[in-house]
Amino acid sequence: MWQAQIFTLYPEIFPGPLGKGLYGKALEKNLWNLKIVNIRDAAEDKHKTVDDTPFGGGAGMLLKADVLAKSIDQNKKEGERIFYLSPKGKKLDQNLALELSKEKSISLICGHFEGVDERVLSTRNIEEISLGDFILSGGETASFVILDSILRLLPKILGNEQSVSEESFHNGLLEYPQYTKPQVWEEKSVPEVLLSGDHSKIKDWRLSQSEAITRVRRPDLWEKYKKN
């Protein structure tokens, strides 16, 4: 069973957990598990203080090293990878999602304010991970995306596991165009090759479409694909 735990100041954000849809049903079948850890529970003062002003001045507040470290130490599993959701981190992509889906468990730290005390990151062997070059108010929304990208790769989570192997980024390319009924819609017909029944021709057509789309829309991916 794949496991994740999320360190957050706002546990109420996470529904059920993650509702009663595809992942909620998989949770009930013990295909994965999620634990929500409230960082405030590790604070020892009566006000449950988790943040303070940065040394050297500057705007905003930082999560305190002692509180966050205590929360991590009380909940971490031996050998698991711990990630802090940060714009400074390694950018999430399909390869990283696949890599994390093969872990037994991971932990995600949802930052708030101006970030966390750097000493926690260095002493607890915490990796940093980012969704992209933009800023969010907190790591909770980012954690949803990360979990979604991982969970759909786990065995038995999706109804049709073959669909995972045909999606964008699986082979380094964007996905080819898809069509369904009606065969003719607003005077536009489905490409004839898809109606031919010739699976070899269909496979070649889909690959050529993926290559053409990737070359135009994502030249960065196209360059990586050509090198491979």
Class of domain 2-151: alpha beta
Residue of 178, 150, 144, 181 lying closest to 164 (CA atoms): 150
Phi, psi dihedral angles at 102 (to 5 degrees): -95, -5
Which regions of the chain does DSSP assign to beta strands (E)?
2-8, 32-38, 51-52, 62-63, 81-91, 105-109, 127-130, 184-185, 188-189
pTM of the model: 0.84
Domain boundaries, the chain: 2-151, 169-227
**What CATH fold (topology level) applies to the domain 169-227?**
Trp Operon Repressor; Chain A (1.10.1270)
User: Phi and psi (nearest 5°) for 227?
Assistant: -70, -25
The mean predicted confidence, pLDDT, of the chain is 91
Strand 81-91 to 127-130 pairing? parallel
- Predicted confidence (pLDDT) per residue in 88-146, tens digit: 999 999 999 999 999 999 999 998 888 999 999 999 999 999 999 998 989 999 999 99
pLDDT at residue 103, as a whole number: 97
Distance from CA of residue 163 to its chain's centroid?
A: 18
